[in-house]
Structure 1
């Protein structure tokens, strides 16, 4: 259980740790390779060795994706310093990528390297012996560069299979200007959150941004409400099939979630729009609240952002009769890059895997897109984007981090959860029916 729950030791202090957001979404970008100069190539040896081509699949290809520049720079830098290596990149947006990488694994056609998520998402890949265990490549020096617990969600059967780059933290991003202009109080309690939702709704303003089409964004909201209702230990125990969704805490979470829906928290058309579309009005300054991972800070502080300087970051409040509290966060070190067990160039693939994870972590942090899992004592924190610093400050006293349900659950169980949640969101299931659907994961 401790491996699934990211304890306070994984939390980062801005002065000593990098932390980053979970999954970013982008539009398909096709294949690309890089040729830019490199200023921090680590222990690479330019031009050494035989010519090698490495295929790398990931999700950071969209033109508006805050992680895209960082990913491209790191790949470009590596190739410049290692002229014998050619990185062939294939990208897809989040949901399409998940489907594609699962299909590739099932067909035994995984690329040499691929981005993924720890916990239950990658467990089927490990169980089918599709991923290379990298314990023999990880030195004490490498471990010392990472925050404590960074490998917790990437360790299976006591072996490490992935290199992490981000820490993620779910938070409620709020447009303080909209709150002030409409004389609405920032919510510190659940009742105040409901009051704020109803106040904005009465003024014709959609209170919260969400995509009902991309189900993981609905789950962002429910996961934190379940954490507030049940507490971290029960969440992990139940998702790993050592408990029961029939416990009253889960019905409490479902009823509170439906309460937000019924109060008009989300737009009526949310069920038919994508995550990219759902975020637009928030970043345009038209929607006051959005619960997302820490990666949302990147767009809020972008050079062309319409909400720069207007975004606050608060914890989702505790809910009535809940066992959890506002110092417990969803997230943790989950995002990672793995190497296919079938790669013909294991040493070269792992060498790039290590380089990419460390430098992607740093570059994304500097860009304000994420909080890194690699320590960054050399980063000038005064130059960090304001919203990201707010996330760091919010989580510095965190009691712990619990990874998202769609990551902790494995295989078909994830789809069972997300489909049932979408039905609850759309009113096709009652909270009681939703809980029954969750319990079916247990086969009873």
Structure 2
């Protein structure tokens, strides 16, 4: 028994030693381990294939990735920030959280590396790198451009003699005509709150341009400026007085709201390019058209300024091996590696993304080209651009405006501080 026990222990000891030696051998070989967090769950298969190719072609670096749905990643990031424990690479939204990462020195400065990578740097669309630049230092490579548009059912419009609205007055007229025929004008996920914020922020921009928001965001003014008050009153008129939104919209979640449009039970739907994911592979896509958010008569905001922008970037931790991490994000963000992503329901942030339109759905190609040809500028999502407190206050504001007609819009806006 003692001899048998000794033999077993010797075998265990030899196994442990072998594993330890393998680990030491790996360290001696100089293999750098990198971890990545990403919210691009829809593109996971493509990205994982790119990671495999990267690992195969970079034997001195080994990259592993975890993918999270939006809210799960936001929660995980709060914990990581509190403990100063970021992964080596993160794909994250621009806005307040990203600002915090920069101001607390948690992200690596990639300015010099981009300067030495001129061909790649010059291929990024104007404004792309600026979105992730602070005090002349750049901290991320944009990987997506986003633009919110008004999608509409071409068949419903044609059958009812309607023209896609170019102005807000025209939109209200379309709403009235659809209601008169018992057709739901607009579907929206009121339960989620942020889709209603799309309507409010677009109205505010079309009325007053982007300057009022920039002043309020920076504390130079508050949100009781005329453009915000007018936007709230216009939204209330649309939702309550004109019954523009689907009945019961305040209890509708994203999937239910999307389903109403896809199943042709609503004529219009205000969403970003990601909405195409729900219908690109369906015959319904042939019935879908889009227009920019309508202009407001007498307003200062251009119809070709989109809500969205370069909302997602790939950054590296200041604690990561800077050379290895930059090598990885440069590879993963290249047009060649993301080509398949941009040929779907996404918009490339590159001037020359190398897309093959023969492999793209006509609607996706048309949308991508329309924005590239007409884009004059963009403004960010309020709930991502503002600090967390004011973002939540704005989301709550939406229910207060469209849920109770007795609430004073200006008084509600004054609560955002």
TM-score range, shorter chain: 0.7 to 0.9
Aligned to 1:252: 230
The 5-angstrom pairing of residues 232-271 of structure 1 reads 232-262=210-240, 263-271=242-250
2:146 pairs with 1:168: yes
Q: Deviations over 1:209-250 (max 9, x none)?
A: 322232322222222111101112333233222333222111
Preserved contact between residue 94 and residue 311 of structure 2 (Cα < 8 Å): yes
Report the Cα offset of residue 154 of structure 1: 0.4
Tell me if structure 2 keeps the 8 A contact 1:121–1:409: no
Determine the structure 2 residue equivalent to 1:286.
265
**For the Cα contact (< 8 Å) 2:38–2:66, is it kept in 1?**
yes
- State whether residues 167 and 297 of structure 2, in contact with CA within 8 Å, keep that contact through their aligned partners in structure 1: no
Change (3 A) 1:375 1:318: closer
CA offset at residue 378 of structure 1? 3.5
CA deviation profile, 1:30-55 (whole Å, cap 9, x unmatched)? xxxxxxxxxxxxxxxxxx96334322
The equivalent residue for 1:57 is: 37
What TM-score, normalized by structure 2, do the two folds share?
A: 0.83
- Conserved 8 A contact 1:130-1:342: yes
Distance 1:76 1:271 in 2: 44
> Who wins on radius of gyration, i.e. which is larger?
2
Query: How far does the alpha carbon of each residue in 1:302-360 deviate from its partner, in whole angstroms, 9 at most, with x for none?
Result: x2x242211111011112442223222222222111212233x3322221112222245
Aligned to 1:132: 108
Contact 1:361–1:373 under 8 Å retained in 2? no
Structure 2 distance, partners of 1:207, 1:72, is: 40
1:330 aligned counterpart, secondary structure: strand
* Match of residue 207, structure 1, among 160, 185, 194: 185
What are the ranges of 5 or more consecutive residues in structure 1 without an aligned counterpart? Answer: 1-47
Q: Take 2:252 and 2:63, find their aligned partners in 1: how far apart are those partners? A: 34
Give the match for residue 122 of structure 1. 98
> Are the structure 2 counterparts of residues 319 and 377 from structure 1 closer, same or farther at C-alpha, using a change threshold of 3 Å?
closer
Matches within 5 A, 1:30-41: none
Which structure 2 segments of 5+ residues have no match? 1-27
Rounded Cα–Cα distance in structure 1 between residues aligned with 2:266 and 2:273: 18
- What does residue range 18-97 of structure 1 map to in structure 2 within 5 Å? 50-61=30-41, 65=42, 67-83=43-59, 85-97=61-73
Alignment of 1:147 with 2:125, yes or no, is yes
2:292 corresponding residue in structure 1 = 315
Select the residue among 252, 274, 280 that pairs with 2:253.
Answer: 274
TM-score, normalised relative to structure 1: 0.79
Distance 1:98 1:267, change over 3 A: farther
Q: Distance in 2 between matches of 1:200 and 1:49?
A: 69
Between structures 1 and 2, the one with greater helix share: 2
SS of the counterpart of 1:414? helix
CA RMSD, Structure 1 to Structure 2 (Å): 2.5
CA distance in 1 between counterparts of 2:183 and 2:142 reads 39
CA positional deviation for 1:83: 4.8
